[in-house]
Amino acid sequence: MERENQFIGQSGAFLDAVERTSRAAPMRRPVLVIGERGTGKELIAERLHRLSTRWDEPLVTMNCAALPETLIEAELFGHEAGAFTGATKQRAGRFEEADKGTLFLDELGTLSMGAQERLLRAVEYGEVTRIGSSRPIRVDVRIVAATNEDLPAKAERGEFRADLLDRLSFEVITLPPLRVREGDIEVLADYFGRRMGAELGWEAWPGFAEHVGAELENHPWPGNVRELRNVVERAVYRWDNWEVPIGHVQFDPFDSPWKPLSQAVAKPKPEQKATAEAAPSGPDLENIDDIRSAVDAHERAILEHALGKHRWNQRQTAKALGLSYDQLRHAIKKHGLTDDD
C-alpha cells in the first residue's frame, strides 16, 4: 500500500464514503469495499485497520488476482512440507500471518470456487487448515475485501458463492468514481502538482493555465485518482519553468507520432479512446445564441491547447495547425493571448 497517499477531497459523495469507513472501523465485522480501479480501495482498507482496536497488530494484504489459481489456497491457508510438488518446508498462510489483525483481500471476485469454500469456513468458524494437514488452526482475523466487480450479479450467475457474499457484506462501502466527485479534480490536481513541484525543487507553485484546468475537469478519468496523479505529475515533470503556469497536459503517455505502425493503425479500444489526449471540447450546440462568439471561443481554446502542447513554440504550433507563421501570429493577437495564459 502507498502509505504516503492521503484522503483528499471535499465532495459530498467522497466524504460520505470516508465517514462510513470511520464508523465501520471499530467493528469486528467483515467489510466489503467496492469501487472502480484507482478509487482508493487500498486506502479504505488501511483506514479501517488503523482506526480499529487492531491498529497495532498486522495488516496483511493479498491480491487474489496476482497468483495462479493453484497457489491461492496455499497462500491463504499455508501448507505442510511435502503437501505438493515444490513444498519443501512448512509455511504459514496469510490468515496465520494476520492473526489478531486484519487481512485485506484485494480483487476478491477472482477467487476460485474452491478457495471461496475454504474462505467461507475460515470466516464462519475462525479456523484454517494448512494444505496437507488435518489439524485446524484457530485464528482471529478481521476480513476486509475489495473488488471492482458486481458480486451480487456474479452470485446470481453461480460464479460467486452467495453464502460467502452474505458473510462478507456486513458493511459495504462503495467508493465514488472521480468523475462524479464535484470539485475534487481541482483539489487533487493542485495537491499532486505541488508535491511534484517540491520534489523537483521548484521555488514556487505556478498552478495550471486556465485551459489546462478545463481539460482536467472534462476528462472522464477511467483510471480515477491513480490516473489523475500520473497525469499531473507527468505534466509538472515535463514543464521546466516554475514561473509560468503549466500550459500542457498529456493524458495518454503512449500517444506519439512515432509509435509503432501496428499500434497506430489498430482500432483503439473504448478505454483507450477515453484516455486519449484531450483536445478542446466542441461548443454546446444546444445553447448557442451568438454564433460568432461561439466560434471565437472554440478557436481560442484550440490555440491555447496547441500553444501549450508546443510550449509556446509558435513555428511548431503553426505547423501542427496547418497555418503559416503570420496566420498564427494574427490569431494570437486577435484573441489577446500571451504565454502567461
Render each residue's pLDDT in the chain as its tens digit; 341 residues.
344 557 899 999 999 999 999 999 999 999 999 999 999 999 999 999 999 999 999 999 999 988 887 788 888 988 888 777 777 788 888 999 999 999 999 999 999 898 899 899 899 999 998 888 888 899 999 999 999 999 999 999 999 999 999 999 999 999 999 999 999 999 999 999 999 999 999 999 999 999 999 999 999 999 999 999 999 999 999 998 899 999 999 999 998 878 787 654 555 555 544 444 445 555 566 677 777 777 778 888 888 888 877 767 887 788 888 888 778 888 888 888 776 55
Instruction: Look up residue 188 and give its three cell numbers.
Output: 487533487
Residues with Cβ within 8 Å of residue 147, at least 6 apart in sequence:
32, 33, 34, 107, 108, 109
Whether 266 and 287 share a structural domain: no
pLDDT at 163: 95
Residue 4 lies in a domain: no
Within-domain flag for 43? yes
How far apart CA 247 and CA 193 sit, in angstroms, is: 13
**CATH number of the domain bearing residue 58:** 3.40.50.300
In a domain, 6, yes or no: no
Q: Which range marks the domain in which residue 37 is found?
A: 12-176
In this structure, are 163 and 29 located in the same domain? yes
Which pairs count as long-range contacts for 161-166, CB under 8 Å and 24+ apart, including other chains? 161/113, 161/116, 161/117, 161/120, 163/120, 164/116, 164/119, 164/120, 164/123
The cell for 12 is: 459530498
Number of domains in the chain: 3
195 shares a domain with 168: no
Write down the pLDDT at residue 225: 96
* 61 & 81 share domain: yes
**pTM score:** 0.73
The amino acid present at 177, given as its one-letter code, is P
CB atoms within 10 A of CB 219: 21
Does 142 share its domain with 38?
yes
Question: In this predicted structure, what is the pLDDT of residue 244?
Answer: 93
341 and 255 share one domain: no
Q: Are residues 190 and 272 in the same domain?
A: yes
The answer on 140 and 163 residing in a single domain is yes
22 and 39 co-located in one domain: yes
**Residue 2 forms part of a structural domain:** no
Cβ pair 139, 101 in contact under 8 A: no
CATH number for 335:
1.10.10.60
So what's the pLDDT on residue 267? 54
Half-sphere exposure of 340 (CA within 13 A, CB side): 1
258 and 155 housed in the same domain: no
Please report whether residue 7 resides in a domain.
no
End-to-end CA distance of the chain: 38
Q: Same structural domain for residues 82 and 104? A: yes
Assign residue 191 the CATH number of its domain.
1.10.8.60
Dmax (CA) for the chain in angstroms is 84
Domain boundary among 176, 211, 233: 176
Residue 301 covered by a domain = yes
